[in-house]
Structure 1
Amino acid sequence: MSEKYKSREERKTATKNTKKQKKKKRNILKQIFLTLIILGIIGIVAGATTFFVLAKDAPPLDEALLKDPLSSKVLDKNGDKIYEFGVEKRTYVSIDEIPEDMKNAVIAIEDARFYEHHGLDIIRLVGAVIANFQEGFGAEGASTISQQVIKNSFLSPEKKLKRKAQELWLAFQLENKYSKNQILEMYLNKIYYGVGNTHGVAKAAEIYFGKSLSELELHEAALIAGLGQNPGMHNPFTNPDGAENRRNVVLNQMANHGFITSEEAATAKIVPLEESLVDAQPEAQPIEAFLDQVKLEIAELGDIDVYTAGLTIHTSFDPEAQSYIDELLNSNKVIEYANDEVQAGIALTNTKTGEILALGGGRNQSETKRRNFALESSNQPGSTIKPILDYAPAMEYLNWSTYEQIVDEPYTYSDGTPINNYNQKHLGQISLRTALADSRNIPALKALQQVGLERAREFAVSLGIPMEEQIFEPYAIGGTRSGISPLQMAGAYGAFGNAGMYIKPHAVNRVVYADDTEVKTAPSPEAVMKDSTAFMITDVMKSVLLPGGTGRAAYVPGLNIAGKTGTTNYSKEDREKYNISSKAVPDSWFSGYTPNYSIAIWTGYADNKQGLVGSEQKIPQILFKSLITYLTEDEEKPDFDVPNSVVKVAVEKGSNPAKLASEFTPKDQIVSEYFHKGTEPTQQSDRYMKLDPPTDININYDENTNQITLSWSYPKNSANVSFEIRESIDEGSYKVIGTTKELKYTINNPIPEAIYRYEIVAVSDENKENRSQAGLQEIVIPAKPEDEIEITPPDGEEEEPQNEDENPDDSDQDENDDSNEDGIPDIIVPPGGTNDEQTGENSQ
């Protein structure tokens, strides 16, 4: 019994413990739930409080602003108004005049639940948050039409969170005060649709299709609706493919939301885009090229519609410079253009500040098909990239001087592909100055290889030049995959002229918002290279405009200009495809600068199906010369400041490594070049230094060997000196008989009784023209000894012996004759040289 009882007690205890655990768990869950509720309430209260704090300063609704946006004024460098965004090209229409297809197209693509929400679309907001989390911030927006009306009417983007709170608060008020149709009417008359100052759907219908709203077809309404998010990208005149794709997206959305059937959408999508676009296009205004840059810079400040934001935009615009550029491009006063299709892009900036003074966007352009060639980065730079990617980095990282010697020779890329110079010739060892001035390709590639691709790329990017993550060796001569715009090029060259300080080219200096908030927008200078590098590459590029350089046509007497030319080539496939001459080029450039102005000019054809031939390739140089002459006509003409970090040295031409010129170096063999201080040459060249003559010359004759031996001393190291031996026999002319590196020379089998004279000259091995004075010596070769002479008496007679003590009978001899019949001299010169006392002559 006891065991059974114990078991019941245990079960009872276990049951009790289980109930306690369940109760405890319920209590914990209850506490968590209550905590979450409390936190939620706190969050709601905190969020609401924060929202109202941020929104409390929102401006009041102003019906005038809701219907008529605040225009934005653009001021030039003098503070004068040059343009006003948002005051032109607007035709206001009531909601009843707007076709259903037009309204439905905008709602489908911009705010599908417009008639269901009260200013905030929660479903769309959640979807946008998820999309931004998955794809990155900005992947999808969540603004409703009501919010966009508010944004485009009142607010500035000084603080995004605050602006968003105010935008939402005002959107709620807008929804309470106005009907959905009134709000939609405001939006459809307010939105910007591209092409100048085109606002509102009615004006868009006129600009793009030449129709009134009531005449629009479904596919046309869809195209206009699609322009709202990005009119530049979806402009049907300049980007027909992008516009057609966007139109079809709108049609799909209309079908998805039940505004049209799938069949109607399919029918509309097959209509060719160009079928209903207008043919007549208004002429573009030249100032629009500059205004394009203004809009780009305003867009960088935040989500601003410059046409409705009521801004006062202070710019660096120079109206006189712009007017002259317009004249250069659109008349034949300076250049006789081959045809109206020749295009050009010009960027003019201030070297010291980076301010954009004027832009030439192109020639003979219409407003609807306008391209801005000053800002387009679709063209390869050619040799204008060489200072940026090759030589300046070599100066910066390898301490190259303006004299650096490079061998221009047959060469290949690292993969074995041959590289050629423009004239298919090679100059051998040349200086960096010559290589750049004559635009040699092979030295440029060698420079890039020594710098390294990654360092060269980083250097170019620091100058505002766009480069992919990986570049390749053909970039050394301008064979880039992505192009460069004239404005980017002007900014990069401007850094060379500004002591290595890069300032991003900019048109806007400051912006004042409608609420008087002011923002300074001018970028700060950034040191991107040593001032020695900037000065030396500038000094080298001065040579481009001098005789021997490729940019001579841009030269202006009395003006300190540095610059570089550039051309590109067609591929073999393109030449064959478009039947293009082998002498034609698709792109021709000149980028140049003075201490005050930096100018980059591109010329070519818009479609690249026709090339520049002959003198047309000089157009950029001629345009530059005309423009820089105009700009500096009444100004001082300063030179670039020489920094303390460089040294100018007189170098002997051709010396490698560089050597200082000596007092004997010919003037035409001396070049003055710049070096980074501390890297200049210290050793003087002895190539032309007058050599000392040989000294202590001795001459000996050895009867036993019948040899003349010359020996001498030389006062200096004779390692780079040879000795030339010249001989004269019996007062004949001197002839070279040999050259030696030693301090002695032997002559075999001299003629007896002959007089031998010798000159010994020291000659430089490096320069054969560098010769010393001659060291002189002479010797008379003795006759053979008498015991070697055989005297044969006359036939039939015998020679009678003479008494040594008796004098021979010399009555038959001329008393002035000092020789015997056989011509043997009475005086024998002993070995060892002439006897000064006997001859009365000095052997030296």
Structure 2
Amino acid sequence: MVNNSQSRTARRKQKKTKKKPLWKKILLSIIIIFIIMGLGAGATAAYWVATAPDLNESKLSDSLASKFLDIDGKSFAVMGEKNRTKINYDDLPQVLIDAVTATEDARFFEHSGIDLRRIGGAVIANIKNGFGSEGASTITQQVVEKSFLSAEKKISLKVQEQWLALQLERDYSKEEIMEMYLNKIFYGSNAYGVATAAETYFGKEDLNELTLPEAAILAGLPQRPTAYNPFENPKLTKERMNTVLDLMVRHDKISEKEAEEARNVDIPSLLVEDKPETTPYEGFLQQVEKEVKEKVDGADIYTDGLTIHTTIDQDVQKHVESLLTDSDSNPIQYPDDEMQAAMTVLDTKTGAIRAIGGRRNSEGKRELNYAIQNKTQPGSTFKPIVAYGPAIEYNKMSTYHQINDDKPYEIGGTDSVIGNWNGQYAGWMTARHALKQSLNVPAVKVLEEVGYEKAKEFAEGLGIKFKDDKILVGDAIGGTGTEVTPLQLAGAFRAFGNEGLYNEPYSVTKVEFPDGKTVELTPQAEPAMSDYTAYMMTDMMKTVLTEGTGKNANIPGLPVAGKTGTTNLKDREGSPDAWFSGYTTNYTISAWVGGYEDEGGGRDVIPPGNGNTQIPLQMFKNTMTEISKDIETKDFVKPDKVIEAEVEKGSNPPAKPSEHTPSNKIITELFVKGTEPKETSEKFDQLDPVSGLTASFNEEKSAIDVSWEYDADADVSFEVSAQVDGGEMQALSTTEDTSMEISAVEPNKEYTIQVVVVSNEDDSKSEPKTTTVATGEEELEELPEVTGLTATYNETNKLIDVSWNYNGPPATFEVSVNGETQTVQSNGLEISGATPGETYNISVTPIGKKGKNEGVRGPTQQTSVTISAEQEEPPADDDGGDGGADTGDNGQDNGEARPPEEENEEPPSDENGQTDDGSDEEQGASDES
């Protein structure tokens, strides 16, 4: 038993001593894993190598042309098939070879197609900064990539590239590969291959004439041919040239002295005077290039033989470009050559770019594209994006929402204020009114109401990127460091016209590679706001065009919405930028003008006057009218969540009008369903009408006496009107008394008298009360003769004084003096210029002037006076006139009768009842907010 037990113990100890340590197990496991991974990697690499394309000699010679198709699939541009002159290796000067190898592949003539040292450095950089951050491609690999592969940053393609590079080095000499490379590379300005580039930029057909600076420029161009284009960016070109010179010194291709001499060269002095021909639709193609570069990894539109399906509408593009020229047929009149302008046209439904006008008088030579590259402040076009849109989206603000525009807005913690552009402040007003008049204070207050973070979230959903990722109070009016391009702004506005759906504007729908591979690029739209927000903002911006600051952009018969915008400079009058962004259900357009610079190169304002800041509105109207004329443009559809509701104007919170609210106090506004007003206003509750209304005819005064009864304590007035024989009721007067006399009424008429009670507090009114009265027929009253008619001669004044009395119905008096007659209103007159020895026979006849007596003649009374012949003749006038006789009112001499001054005569009145006393009553009117 003991022996057996000992044997088992010994065996257990033996097993324990043979058990392997843990670290050995771990090491063994790691080795096994690496072996498996190695086998797997090897198998994968073998698969990639096996599926690599064959070396096709025909593709090694030239890069492939890319073709651009419009919305109808028609080719409108080809890049890469022209402007190429092939050269042989023997044509290459050593300075060019040295510059190229120092820049692109210093050990080109030493390696076998791949450079292991460069690969090692690139691996370390990619581990630190991510895959693709640094390449290790040799010139041989670049030839392979541009000839057979896409430029996507994939491990599989990199393995295939290296494999094919080894094959290429096996089949071709270094000289042949260098020749392929320099014939294939794109150098900008539509130049392919180094020979064409040398002629394009320097006018040199013989490459052996190239100088060191020129060779360095050509060697540096392929990295970024657009950015380093010496025609457009000589400063960047020189920086790149200096980099190449430094590399040549480092790799012992040139001396430091030679490099220093080359660095002192003036780049423009090297260039030819005639720039290359323009590219069609340059502004649009710049956007295409940008999108392909960003979305298709490594693709090159100039060398990869791509078929690029674009969104361009050539008819729209041509029209846009025509408005940016100075041709005689252009209806847009620019003030000078300095003003720059840009415009983008989008499809409202999809966001597809239909046209881009990048600048005025574009030469198509890679100039600054103001539509997609030049960012500037958006001004008041930001109000729908940063203030009103977010307020509707998050606070369900109505278009009636009341805002107090009472004074300039003080920015907290600063001495700055935000004021309205017109310098006026109109008190409480609707959001619709504030937006259509583009008032700043209400917009800032709305931003405060909705909150900065909510507003920022809303705007970012429309593609807006705030400076330093921070929203400021001034962003409500587009006056901060946050800037946009016309393309960005059009993209944001398009969402309002597309039921709130947004996607970034795009110019490319898909890209096809020569091997049949296709990359789809059409973006998917995402909701940026609710449909009710989009519709309500659109409805408000319709008012901008019909009643507000955008009237010059309105197009009758077309449902269109939009917003104006201008910017300011500190301590400067005027605007450096003017904007208009607007849309229909089919198209969205953003137009901009500006670009002025002062003597110091800083921004300057648009020349004042002549409607220069209105030019974007003209650009919009002309373009939208043209592109909409042959298509149906549907109106925007109101979603179920939007309610149209009548509101009593001025009510706050909004209230429904009562049955007594005057029609001019009722407006219709939009509300998010569930927020429409529920309460009815009591402001215009109807007043009680008058009672005991009576009217009687006073024959003696030929007047109507009207009286009524009303509460003596009520703060009211009474509006009295009259109607004659069923005619139009006309207001006579307003009084606070309870009676009135209506004078000078017509006889034998039926008068309907109306009295309405009007509140002195709120202008509310009562129902009218009426009564009827007939005026009696006026009897013909006989006119009596005048009495006491006398005529006496006043020797002192050399006048005959005639006077009489009259007691009868109203009359004028016909006075005859020796057969000469005149009519006077008074009971007397003076006859000047009496002649000694003459007898004057005077007669006076009354003539009725009122009612049935009008024109009736009464009896005539006569008298006479003789001037004694002994009266002394008056001395003659200095001018030799007849002498002595006074001139009467009508300018006649000798014997003219002149009535005496009438003390109580009223001045005559014009047809409006205004007295002609030399003073005009001041008229005033006030606009209602």
Using the size of structure 2 for normalisation, the TM-score is 0.70
Question: Conserved in 2, the CA contact under 8 Å of 1:74 and 1:82?
Answer: yes
User: Mind listing any 5+ residue stretches in structure 1 that lack a counterpart?
Assistant: 1-20, 576-581, 696-711, 715-721, 728-732, 739-760, 775-844
- Superposition pairs of residues 261-660 of structure 1, within 5 angstroms: 261-282=255-276, 284-299=278-293, 300-330=295-325, 331-333=327-329, 334-368=331-365, 370-410=367-407, 411-416=409-414, 417-468=416-467, 469-547=469-547, 549-572=548-571, 582-583=573-574, 585-605=575-595, 607=597, 608-609=603-604, 611-614=606-609, 615-660=611-656
- Which residue of structure 1 lines up, in the alignment, with residue 201 of structure 2? 208
Amino acid in structure 2 at the alignment position of 1:225: A
Distance in 2, Cα, partners of 1:413 & 1:652: 33
Cα 1:208–1:664 change in 2 (3 A) is farther
The question of 1:217 aligning with 2:211 is answered yes
Cα 1:765–1:149 change in 2 (3 A) is farther
Cα 1:724–1:773 change in 2 (3 A) is farther
- Which residue of structure 2 lines up, in the alignment, with residue 813 of structure 1? none
Distance in 2, Cα, partners of 1:282 & 1:357: 27
Deviation at 1:178, TM superposition (A): 1.4
Question: Conserved in 1, the CA contact under 8 Å of 2:717 and 2:758?
Answer: no
Q: Out of 142, 151, 163, which is 1:148 matched to?
A: 142
Question: Conserved in 2, the CA contact under 8 Å of 1:726 and 1:735?
Answer: yes
Deviation at 1:131, TM superposition (A): 2.3
Distance in 1, Cα, partners of 2:145 & 2:56: 13
Deviation at 1:363, TM superposition (A): 1.7
Cα 1:90–1:629 change in 2 (3 A) is same
| CA deviations over 1:76-113 (Å, ceiling 9, x no partner) | 11111111121122222122222222222222222222
1:674 aligns to what SS in structure 2? strand
The question of 1:109 aligning with 2:103 is answered yes
Distance in 2, Cα, partners of 1:367 & 1:211: 23
- Which residue of structure 1 lines up, in the alignment, with residue 922 of structure 2? none
Identity %: 46
Amino acid in structure 1 at the alignment position of 2:256: S
2:175 aligns to what SS in structure 1? helix
Cα 1:114–1:157 change in 2 (3 A) is closer
1:186 aligns to what SS in structure 2? helix
Question: Conserved in 2, the CA contact under 8 Å of 1:376 and 1:485?
Answer: yes
Cα 1:107–1:347 change in 2 (3 A) is same
Distance in 1, Cα, partners of 2:484 & 2:86: 41
Deviation at 1:597, TM superposition (A): 0.3
- Which residue of structure 1 lines up, in the alignment, with residue 849 of structure 2? none
Distance in 1, Cα, partners of 2:454 & 2:715: 52
| CA deviations over 1:748-800 (Å, ceiling 9, x no partner) | xxxxxxxxxxxxx99869614446889xxxxxxxxxxxxxxxxxxxxxxxxxx
Distance in 2, Cα, partners of 1:769 & 1:591: 43
Deviation at 1:240, TM superposition (A): 3.1
Amino acid in structure 1 at the alignment position of 2:581: S
Q: Which moved more, 1:123-132 or 1:435-444?
A: 123-132
- Which residue of structure 1 lines up, in the alignment, with residue 667 of structure 2? 671
| CA deviations over 1:698-751 (Å, ceiling 9, x no partner) | xxxxxxxxxxxxxx999xxxxxxx943899xxxxx999699xxxxxxxxxxxxx
Distance in 2, Cα, partners of 1:278 & 1:664: 82
Distance in 1, Cα, partners of 2:113 & 2:439: 65
Q: Which has the higher contact order (CA 8 A, sep 6+)?
A: 1
Cα 1:306–1:566 change in 2 (3 A) is same
Cα 1:438–1:165 change in 2 (3 A) is same
Distance in 1, Cα, partners of 2:667 & 2:475: 31
Distance in 2, Cα, partners of 1:177 & 1:193: 27
Deviation at 1:557, TM superposition (A): 0.5
Deviation at 1:647, TM superposition (A): 0.4
Amino acid in structure 2 at the alignment position of 1:590: F
1:228 aligns to what SS in structure 2? helix
Question: Conserved in 2, the CA contact under 8 Å of 1:154 and 1:309?
Answer: no
Question: Conserved in 2, the CA contact under 8 Å of 1:422 and 1:441?
Answer: yes
Distance in 2, Cα, partners of 1:182 & 1:519: 33
| CA deviations over 1:418-461 (Å, ceiling 9, x no partner) | 11111111121111111111111111111222222222222112
Amino acid in structure 2 at the alignment position of 1:589: W
1:397 aligns to what SS in structure 2? helix
Deviation at 1:34, TM superposition (A): 7.7
Deviation at 1:38, TM superposition (A): 6.0
Question: Conserved in 2, the CA contact under 8 Å of 1:286 and 1:326?
Answer: no
Distance in 2, Cα, partners of 1:554 & 1:170: 60
Question: Conserved in 1, the CA contact under 8 Å of 2:279 and 2:365?
Answer: no
| Cα-Cα RMSD | 3.2
Deviation at 1:24, TM superposition (A): 12
- Which residue of structure 1 lines up, in the alignment, with residue 133 of structure 2? 139
Deviation at 1:274, TM superposition (A): 2.5
Question: Conserved in 2, the CA contact under 8 Å of 1:347 and 1:374?
Answer: yes
- Superposition pairs of residues 56-135 of structure 1, within 5 angstroms: 56-135=50-129
Cα 1:39–1:609 change in 2 (3 A) is same
Question: Conserved in 2, the CA contact under 8 Å of 1:587 and 1:603?
Answer: yes
| CA deviations over 1:380-399 (Å, ceiling 9, x no partner) | 21111111111101111111
Distance in 2, Cα, partners of 1:403 & 1:640: 20
Q: Out of 173, 180, 183, which is 1:189 matched to?
A: 183
Distance in 2, Cα, partners of 1:200 & 1:493: 43
Cα 1:137–1:435 change in 2 (3 A) is farther
Cα 1:638–1:673 change in 2 (3 A) is same
Cα 1:68–1:237 change in 2 (3 A) is same
Cα 1:155–1:725 change in 2 (3 A) is closer
Question: Conserved in 2, the CA contact under 8 Å of 1:396 and 1:530?
Answer: yes
Cα 1:618–1:284 change in 2 (3 A) is farther
- Superposition pairs of residues 713-752 of structure 1, within 5 angstroms: 723-724=714-715
| CA deviations over 1:203-224 (Å, ceiling 9, x no partner) | 2222222333322222222222
Amino acid in structure 2 at the alignment position of 1:691: L
Question: Conserved in 2, the CA contact under 8 Å of 1:73 and 1:311?
Answer: yes
Amino acid in structure 2 at the alignment position of 1:372: N
Question: Conserved in 1, the CA contact under 8 Å of 2:152 and 2:298?
Answer: no
Distance in 1, Cα, partners of 2:376 & 2:229: 21
Cα 1:654–1:34 change in 2 (3 A) is closer
| CA deviations over 1:162-220 (Å, ceiling 9, x no partner) | 3222222222211211122221221112112222x222222222222233332222222
Deviation at 1:153, TM superposition (A): 1.4
Deviation at 1:266, TM superposition (A): 2.3
Q: Out of 193, 198, 216, which is 2:191 matched to?
A: 198
Using the size of structure 1 for normalisation, the TM-score is 0.77
Amino acid in structure 2 at the alignment position of 1:446: K
Structure with the bigger percentage of helix: 1
1:648 aligns to what SS in structure 2? strand
